[in-house]
Amino acid sequence: MQLEFPLPTVEEAIRVARRHAVKVALNPAPLQALPDELLREVDVLIPNQSELHLLSGEGDIEASIYSLQQRGVQNLIITLGNQGCLVVQGSERYPIPAHRLNLWIQPQPGMPLWERLLSPGQKGNPCWRLPGGAMPPVPWQLLARVHSLPYHLARKFYPCSSSGDEL
C-alpha cells in the first residue's frame, strides 16, 4: 500500500492485514512522518533513496538502514532508479541491477506496478503473468527488479491492453 490514504486508514488496514496473517508491503509515498509502531508492523518497506534518508534522518544508505532497523523495519527494498535496487533482509544486502524483463501485466488502471504484482486479480488469480500464461509466485528479486525499472520502461505498463503489454 501507499500513503495516499490518510495515515489512520493505513494504520487500520495494517491492523486488519495482521489479524488475517496477510503480509504488508508499504511504499512510503507521499512521504510523511511514520510512527515506529507502524514501521514494526510492515513486512516490507519500499522507499526510494530520498525517502529512505528522510525517514531515517541519515545521509548514508547504511546508516539509514541501521536507523530504520532500530525502529523496527525488518525488510527493505530501496529503489535506486536506473541503478536498480537494494534488497535488505536483516543483515543481508542484495543489490539488484535494473534490467529489462519480459512480463505480461493484466490491466488494473491507476495501480502502481509493485501493487499489481502483490495483488490478487479476478477470481483470486495473481494479476500478472509471464509470457505463455505462467503465474509463478512473486519472489523478492522479481518484485525488486520490476519496481526498479527505469520510468521509460515501467510506463509501458500504464495502461496495458487486455492481452497485456510486454517490456
Write out pLDDT tens, residues 88-97.
Answer: 999 999 888 8
**What average pLDDT score do residues 15-23 get?**
90
| Residue count (the chain) | 167
Whether residue 166 has pLDDT greater than 50: no
Residue 44: predicted pLDDT: 92
pTM, entire model: 0.63
Mean pLDDT of 7-30: 91
Q: What digits encode the pLDDT tens for the residues 107-135? A: 455 555 555 555 554 444 444 444 455 44
Task: Give the span between the Cα atoms of 23 and 45, in whole angstroms.
Answer: 11
**Which has more confidence, 156 or 89?**
89
Short-list 25, 41, 31, CA closest to 119: 25
Sign for the pseudo-dihedral over CA of 21, 128, 2, 78: positive
User: What pLDDT score was predicted for residue 129?
Assistant: 46
Using CB atoms within 10 A of its CB, is residue 137 exposed (0-12), middle (13-18) or buried (19+)? Answer: exposed
Average confidence (pLDDT) over 12-27: 91
Domain boundaries, the chain: 7-96, 104-157
CATH classification for the domain delimited by 7-96, as one of 1.10.645.10, 3.60.15.10, 3.40.1190.20, 3.30.70.2190: 3.40.1190.20
Closest CA to 154 of 167, 141, 143: 167
The one-character DSSP state at 127 is S
Mean pLDDT, rounded, for 36-64: 95
22/156: higher pLDDT: 22
